[in-house]
Amino acid sequence: MTERFLARLESPIGRIELLADHEALTSLTIERDGSLPHDDEPEHRNAVLETAAIQLDEYFAGTRTDFDVPVHLQGTEFQRAVWGRLQQLRWGDATSYGALAAAVGKPGSARAIGGAVGANPVPIIVGCHRVLASDGRITGYSGGEGVPTKLWLLGHERIGFAA
């Protein structure tokens, strides 16, 4: 079994829990209802987690607009294709579920795209908050406290959306 490392940090959207292996970040969870999945475990940091924590602090401070911490994205081939497209979005960029479906060669599969976006294991770093409905509306968010968390992230990056 691969050794797992764990770190937590404070952020404007709540506490964040980071998991990593020796080489890359494997999970980022935003606190929901005051708890994180591994609250009962002690932190066990490594260099990957230290880099991720620094980059996230810089992001929240507004001094970092992209991430270069390595990530391991484990999922289906379809999910990894969607997450790969999400990684190409930059600070302030947004896309729609339909455009994302077309970009991965699955036009008309916006619902499946939504499932893959929601299963993103490293939100913020892989910017799933940047996906909106085709008319610019916010349709949901699975991280943190849901839509309020997405609203904060969109506002932080100055991404416009329809009310």
Architecture in CATH of 77-156: Orthogonal Bundle (1.10)
List per-block mean pLDDT (blocks of 10 residues) for the chain, which spans 163 residues.
91 98 98 97 98 98 97 97 96 96 93 96 97 94 95 97 87
Specify the pLDDT at position 106: 94
Predicted pLDDT at 13: 98
Q: What are phi and psi of 153, to 5 degrees?
A: -65, -45
**Collapsing DSSP states into helix, strand and coil, what is residue 139?**
coil
Residues in the chain: 163
Query: Which residues, in sequence order, are CB contacts of 155 under 8 Å at separation 6+?
Result: none
- Output the pLDDT for position 2: 75
Catalytic residue among 128, 131, 153, 159: 128
**17: which strand partners?**
8, 29
- Catalytic, 128? Answer yes
Q: Quick one: CATH architecture of 5-61?
A: 2-Layer Sandwich (3.30)
Q: What residue segments make up the domains of the chain, in order of their start? A: 5-61, 77-156
Q: Which residue has the tokens 């391991």?
A: 72
Task: Determine if residue 158 is left, alpha or beta; phi over 0 gives left, psi from -120 to 50 gives alpha, anything else beta.
Answer: left
